[in-house]
Structure 1
Amino acid sequence: MNDAIVRAGNSQLQHGAYNDRIYLMKLAEDDYPGILDDLEKLALDQGYGKIVAKIPDWARSGFLQMGYQQEAAVPGLFNGVADGYFVSKFLSDSRAREKDPEGAAAVIHTASVRCREREDEVKMPERSFHCRICKDTDVSQMAQVYQTVFETYPFPVHDPEYIAKTMLHNFVYLGIWHDEKLVALSAIEIDLQSANGEMTDFATLPAYRGRGLSHFLLYQAEQVVGGKDIRTVYTIARATSFGMNITFAKRGYIYTGRLVNNTNISGSFESMNVWYKPL
């Protein structure tokens, strides 16, 4: 069962047993600092192992004073001017203990080397593929791709109704078709108020991996946000995934930190790397 996305005053958070955490996704200024006590109470009542918050600079000191630690920083996350931070509070020792720091470091090292292969323009790998923005009539195919790629996922992308709902709000999905078959997907979560976009939900069917489809989707996503007055884009990528971290490095994204044991993907907690790029 997926975690719930709820309002807390004028702020937005996700919480539940699946990810065993609270994720403060959007902090409203009029909810601060009272929301600090609310988050603590909810986490203790539910027995969660972690609270992670995406916050602007003006709230950083207050969260750190309450025992949070900074895991990543994104310059200009808010309107290209104010910096943003991912801060976390671990409520169990095991949740704070990274499983494979050497493996995660090897991924970042490899990505930093491969970033020299950056291309200003990325072309579709093969003529039989075509890419476009997804429509509401595509949601069943989209859900099938996500079901095939991810046994479980932190958001209910397996559900066509969820995908359709996000399309009506602040998500743009891009798909690549091979003839009439949808074979790869990505999404952009756009925050016009803060002038940022999260590049997320990349998925490629196993038979079509190794052809650079995610790289092309990321390039196309940047073209989409380029026309929407977005100042900063960022992503939260699996720390042990060579492919996705290299993809972002090659597009000029900058590594800025790791969210330890942050996300339940396919049944286990994974650490996530944060990358950003000013536009």
Structure 2
Amino acid sequence: MDSIEKIGNSVIQHGSYNDRIYLMKLDPADMPSLLDEIDALAEKESYSKIFTKVPGSFKELLCDRSYLCEASIPRYYYGKEDAVIMSKFLDDKRSINCLNEMHEDVIKTALSKEKGMHSILPSEYSIRKCEKQDIGQMADVYQKTFDTYPFPIHDPDYLLKTMEDNVVYFGVFKEGKVVALSSAEIDYDYSGVEMTDFATLPEFRGKGLSSQLLRKMEKDIKAKGIKTAYTIARASSYGMNIVFAKCGYEYCGRLVNNTNISGNIESMNIWYRNFQTD
């Protein structure tokens, strides 16, 4: 799997698995020298893409460094400043989205769905936060759901480490067994959260469990005072894009050929929701 490291006080993920560098969290004090270090690392390892999530105030600087803005999350930082997803393609082939027509249809379909229409959780299911004793089952569900994934969520040690840090996992249970999962990766410094790691065992799909998980997570993070949520969803997945559209999220951009998931490097859509305006 790709490694997560610090450059200065900023956090990056990089490696051949996703064939990229991802600037996950920026300490503004590291700019602009951080960009030189990232460029040097990308050249050394022959990566084909760099992508970053940074405050909008850095957009002009990154544009001057040949980055393109692929998405923008309004009021992500402290509920005030936009986050911009800025990417640099180091191989022209990686910048070409061969499935663009299909991806546009996914967005069109998702946006056509009526917001606020949700299924009811069947009585034989329950939803709660996951605990350490659930980790074995969680790893098994993720292993059965994804052939590949950008982070090692099939590894119990990784799940434990993130659970003890800033990630809250939620599960749908039936007869004491985990059948669906999701997580809220909370950035307390900036009052933002990524809604991610959705997985449902094949035999339990089509029951609206992802929507139920998303609503449960929203209730929890609102209570923590988090202001803005976003997700990075597979651009080819009608189901997940529809889930977020129906739950009131707004589409705000696409990351082309960005993430190794389900066996291939795929493009990803960004959706966001500001809870301050609800």
| TM value normalised by structure 1 | 0.97
What is residue 156 of structure 2 aligned with on the other side?
160
Instruction: State whether residues 22 and 48 of structure 1, in contact with CA within 8 Å, keep that contact through their aligned partners in structure 2.
Output: yes
Give the superposition deviation at 1:117. Answer: 3.8
Structure 1 runs (4+) greater than 6 angstroms displaced:
none
CA distance in 2, matches of 1:215, 1:171: 19
CA distance in 2, matches of 1:38, 1:57: 21
Inter-CA distance 10–145: structure 2 relative to 1 (3 Å threshold): same
1:141 to 130, 133, 137: 137
CA distance in 2, matches of 1:220, 1:90: 37
What is residue 59 of structure 1 aligned with on the other side?
58
**Post-superposition CA distance 1:226-255 (Å, at most 9, x none):** 111101000000001000000000010000
What is residue 91 of structure 1 aligned with on the other side?
90
Instruction: State whether residues 115 and 248 of structure 2, in contact with CA within 8 Å, keep that contact through their aligned partners in structure 1.
Output: no
Taking the TM superposition and a 5 Å limit, the aligned residue runs for 1:77-226 are 77-114=76-113, 116-119=114-117, 122=118, 124-226=120-222
What is residue 254 of structure 1 aligned with on the other side?
250
Instruction: State whether residues 198 and 233 of structure 1, in contact with CA within 8 Å, keep that contact through their aligned partners in structure 2.
Output: yes
CA distance in 1, matches of 2:62, 2:173: 44
2:261 to 262, 265, 271: 265
* Aligned residue pairs, count: 275
Give the superposition deviation at 1:133. Answer: 0.2
Structure 2: which 5+ runs fail to align?
none
Q: CA RMSD in A?
A: 0.8
What is residue 71 of structure 1 aligned with on the other side?
70
CA distance in 2, matches of 1:204, 1:192: 28
Instruction: State whether residues 124 and 130 of structure 1, in contact with CA within 8 Å, keep that contact through their aligned partners in structure 2.
Output: no
What is residue 7 of structure 1 aligned with on the other side?
6
| Percent identity over paired residues | 49
Read off the aligned partner of 1:134 and give its amino acid letter. C
What is residue 36 of structure 1 aligned with on the other side?
35
What is residue 235 of structure 1 aligned with on the other side?
231
CA distance in 2, matches of 1:57, 1:202: 28
